[in-house]
């Protein structure tokens, strides 16, 4: 069953509008909630990362404090005193090496541990000595210690308890490290007596890498920063965090850690200039979050904070677009569901109302078909349909309309026949008048041989005109239809001369004829009908001067608009402006006593059909000029 054109769209609008409004509100609320959740998630991950690093450092400090408080280290330091009751021996040193080895285990991020006596002299250094293979060896040196060993913090010698002290993070060619100093006190019941100190270097690079593994991908070397074509799909945190990364910088803006290892130890301003707004706030010691655009135009969200008691800051970075994919997909599906629900509701309502208004639909379709001209169309409804009476009345009206149209068609056909008769009568009158002029002059000039030759030519032209009329009568369908031939290039000058020879030369004794014609003048026109226009205008001019001698002037040429024209001017009585405005071109309106009144009407229609125009300039008592303008053939 066809749907009423305006019914379904209207119902669809009413059903969808509230759902789309609610869906739009849910869309923006959903995005805002997702952004808030994203920020909270980043802050939570930032806290976890900082806590992980801090816990590792605290664990290392606890191990160093335990070592500083151990009896093994105290015994070794006391055995080195000049007046020691128990001088150092191999067993004491071996016990210390065991304790140092436990502290510098593979799970530790400590690189080396140096021990100083109370005179602040280095007496032992234990350090990892990496070699080729899967394991690491420790080396212990008590003599020939290298220069430039890490020195304890100055506060260690003034401390009164075993509390570790941290030095600022330093970056060298070998990496980033943190120095931890712990004082060593002799075991006594009174005041604490310092007998030495230990200094440990903690490898910050490995510590940060271990803490950041939860954000790393299966191939860390290929991981890019957010907004730099990150494409990981194996994040251990969650599937939607493939674009999340970690960046740690020091107070100078140097990158201490980045998942893209090629950026390590470079300045942020040089390697990642688009990170400068975040790096500036991080270097100032600020905590918070900020969004910015990466080098590829992607928006990046960053949460950042400083490490407690350390001159470095960390930022968790997230590609906003990729992080919001799931949220956007969720709210977009909500909009899609709203559209589907609204559309289904509109379809059901439309179907229900269509069932109720089916009769009106068929009546409307029937009336539309009748309006398109299908008068034989009938509207058929079931007898139980409440619109059956309306349909029967429309069918009755259609029957009467067909009868009326049939009568009007017959009347128009008769009217067309009458019009054709009038036009042919007018043309026949023109031909008869031309022949009458010839016959009238034959009585006076029959003995003139030149006159007889001209008369023969005129009679040939008149015969041709009468033959053309007969042809039109034998094909009344074309004649009545008003169809015109396709315009063809035609030279107007021979045509004008031929008409003058037929109509003007026989009356040369009573009327003077003047011509101003170019050698040739080509126009796009129907030659046969344009010649009839010329004949009619020339004959009208001659008849206008019938009461006395006059002058008939024929001109032709080219207008300023590169169109062609010809004009016929007589010195007759002229016409009033009122007649020109109201009656000149109206059918059956004429000033002649025996005229039909179709000549100028026919002329205007023929000229218009050929894409031209006809103008008139007349003054009562001084003559009339008709000017015809046609398209040029050049």
Tracing tokens 């229900």 back to the chain, one arrives at: 352
Report yes or no on whether pTM surpasses 0.75: no
Q: How many CB atoms lie within 10 A of CB 103?
A: 19
Whether 249 and 269 have beta carbons less than 8 Å apart is answered as no
Tracing tokens 């890490």 back to the chain, one arrives at: 150
Whether 130 and 139 have beta carbons less than 8 Å apart is answered as no
Whether 568 and 538 have beta carbons less than 8 Å apart is answered as yes
Between 384 and 163, the more confident residue is 163
Burial (0-12, 13-18, 19+ Cβ within 10 Å), 74: middle
Q: What are phi and psi of 104, to 5 degrees?
A: -90, 45
Of 50-64, 92-106, 436-450, minimum mean pLDDT range: 436-450
Domain spans in the chain, listed from the N-terminal domain onward: 69-209, 484-634
pLDDT at 618 over 70: yes
pLDDT at 200 over 90: yes
DSSP type of residue 171: E
pLDDT tens digits, 103-125? 888 677 888 999 998 888 999 99
User: Which pLDDT does position 612 carry in this prediction?
Assistant: 93
Cα 565 from Cα 551, distance rounded (Å): 20
pLDDT tens digits, 496-555? 998 888 888 777 778 889 999 999 999 999 988 899 899 899 988 888 887 778 899 999
User: Which pLDDT does position 139 carry in this prediction?
Assistant: 87
**Average pLDDT, whole number, for the chain?**
78
User: Which pLDDT does position 133 carry in this prediction?
Assistant: 38
Q: At what angle do helices 492-503 and 388-445 cross, to 10 degrees?
A: 60
Tell which residue, 476, 421, 399, 410, has the closest CA to residue 587.
421
Percentage of residues of the chain with pLDDT beyond 70: 75
Q: What are phi and psi of 258, to 5 degrees?
A: -155, 145
Whether 566 and 496 have beta carbons less than 8 Å apart is answered as yes
In sequence order, what are the residues at sequence separation of 6 or more whose Cβ sits closer than 8 angstroms to the Cβ of residue 31?
324, 327, 328, 331
User: Which pLDDT does position 553 carry in this prediction?
Assistant: 94
Cα 479 from Cα 495, distance rounded (Å): 23
CATH of domain 484-634: 3.30.565.10
Whether 574 and 622 have beta carbons less than 8 Å apart is answered as yes
Cα 64 from Cα 162, distance rounded (Å): 10
User: Which pLDDT does position 422 carry in this prediction?
Assistant: 59
Which of 177-186, 308-317, 431-440 tops mean pLDDT? 177-186
Sequence length of the chain is: 634
Of 84-88, 131-135, 190-194, 254-258, minimum mean pLDDT range: 131-135
> Strand pairing of 175-186 and 193-203?
antiparallel
Whether 50 and 307 have beta carbons less than 8 Å apart is answered as yes
pLDDT tens digits, 273-314? 888 888 888 888 888 988 888 878 888 888 999 988 788 899
Burial (0-12, 13-18, 19+ Cβ within 10 Å), 1: exposed
CATH number 3.30.450.20 is the correct assignment for the domain at 69-209: yes
Cα dihedral sign, 421-424-428-429: positive
Q: At what angle do helices 599-609 and 527-544 cross, to 10 degrees?
A: 150
Between the CA of residue 511 and those of 32, 141, 500, 541, 569, what are the distances in Å? 100, 147, 12, 10, 12
Q: What tokens does 24 get? A: 């739009």
Confidence bin at 388 (pLDDT 50/70/90): low
For 575-624, the three-class secondary structure string (H helix, E strand, C coil) is: CCHHHHHHCCCCCCCCCCCCCCCCHHHHHHHHHHHCCCEEEEEEECCCEE
> Strand pairing of 550-558 and 488-491?
unpaired
Residue-wise burial string across 598-610, b where 16 or more C-beta atoms lie within 10 A, e elsewhere: bbbbbbbbbbebb
Between 345 and 444, the more confident residue is 345
Residue-wise burial string across 421-449, b where 16 or more C-beta atoms lie within 10 A, e elsewhere: ebbbebbebbbeebbebbeebeeeeeeee
Of 57-61, 376-380, 601-605, minimum mean pLDDT range: 376-380
User: Which pLDDT does position 629 carry in this prediction?
Assistant: 95
User: Which pLDDT does position 132 carry in this prediction?
Assistant: 42
pLDDT at 163 over 70: yes
């Amino acid at each position: 069953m066809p749907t009423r054109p305006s019914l379904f769209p209207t119902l669809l609008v009413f059903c969808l509008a509230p759902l789309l409004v609610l869906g739009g509100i849910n869309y923006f609320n959903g995005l805002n909630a997702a952004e808030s959740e994203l920020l909270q998630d980043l802050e939570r991950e930032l806290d976890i990362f900082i806590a992980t690093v801090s816990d590792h450092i605290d664990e290392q400090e606890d191990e160093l404090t335990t070592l500083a408080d151990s009896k093994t280290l105290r015994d070794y330091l006391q055995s080195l005193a000049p007046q020691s009751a128990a001088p150092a021996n191999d067993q004491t040193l071996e016990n210390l090496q065991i304790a140092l080895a436990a502290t510098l285990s593979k799970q530790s991020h400590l690189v080396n541990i140096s021990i100083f006596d109370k005179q602040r002299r280095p007496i032992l250094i234990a350090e990892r000595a990496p070699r080729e293979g899967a394991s690491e060896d420790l080396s212990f040196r008590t003599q020939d210690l290298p220069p430039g060993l890490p020195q304890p913090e100055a506060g260690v010698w003034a401390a009164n308890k075993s509390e570790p002290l941290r030095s600022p993070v330093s970056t060298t060619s070998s990496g980033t490290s943190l120095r931890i100093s712990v004082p060593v006190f002799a075991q006594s019941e009174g005041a604490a007596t310092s007998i030495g100190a230990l200094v440990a270097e903690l490898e910050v690079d490995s510590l940060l890498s271990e803490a950041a593994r939860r954000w790393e991908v299966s191939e860390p070397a290929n991981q890019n920063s957010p907004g730099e074509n990150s494409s990981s799909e194996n994040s251990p945190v969650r599937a939607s965090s493939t674009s999340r990364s970690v960046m740690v910088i020091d107070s100078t803006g140097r990158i201490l850690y980045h998942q893209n290892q090629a950026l390590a130890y470079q300045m942020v301003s040089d390697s990642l200039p688009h990170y400068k707004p975040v790096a500036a706030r991080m270097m100032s010691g600020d905590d918070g979050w900020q969004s910015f655009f990466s080098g590829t135009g992607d928006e990046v969200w960053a949460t950042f904070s400083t490490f407690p008691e350390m001159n470095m800051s960390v930022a968790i970075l997230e590609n906003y677009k990729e992080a919001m994919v799931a949220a956007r997909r969720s709210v977009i599906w909500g909009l899609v569901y709203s559209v589907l629900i609204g559309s289904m509701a509109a379809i059901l309502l439309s179907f229900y109302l269509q069932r109720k208004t089916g009769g009106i639909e068929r009546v409307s379709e029937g009336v539309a078909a009748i309006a398109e001209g299908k008068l034989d169309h009938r509207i058929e409804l079931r007898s139980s349909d409440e619109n059956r009476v309306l349909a029967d009345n429309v069918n009755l009206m259609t029957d009467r309309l067909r009868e009326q149209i049939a009568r009007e068609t017959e009347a128009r056909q008769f009217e067309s026949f009458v019009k054709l008769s009038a036009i042919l009568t007018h043309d026949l009158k023109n031909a008869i008048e031309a022949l009458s002029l010839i016959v009238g002059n034959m009585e006076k000039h029959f003995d003139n041989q030149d006159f007889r030759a001209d008369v023969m030519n005129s009679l040939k032209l008149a015969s041709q005109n009468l033959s053309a009329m007969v042809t039109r009568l034998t094909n009344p369908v074309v004649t009545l239809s008003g169809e015109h031939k396709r315009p063809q290039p035609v030279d107007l000058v021979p045509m004008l001369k031929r008409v003058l020879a037929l109509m003007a030369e026989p009356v040369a004794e009573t009327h003077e004829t003047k011509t101003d014609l170019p050698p040739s003048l080509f126009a796009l026109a129907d030659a046969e009908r344009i010649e009839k226009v010329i004949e009619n205008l020339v004959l009208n001019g001659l008849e206008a001067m019938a009461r006395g001698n006059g002058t008939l002037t024929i001109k032709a040429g080219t207008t300023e608009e590169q169109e062609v024209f010809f004009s016929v001017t007589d010195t007759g009585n002229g016409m009033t402006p009122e007649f020109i405005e109201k009656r000149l071109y109206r059918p059956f309106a004429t000033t002649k006593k025996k005229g039909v009144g179709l000549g100028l009407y026919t002329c205007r229609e023929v000229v218009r059909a050929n894409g031209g125009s006809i103008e008139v300039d007349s003054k009562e008592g001084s003559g009339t000029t008709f000017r015809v303008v046609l398209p040029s053939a050049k």
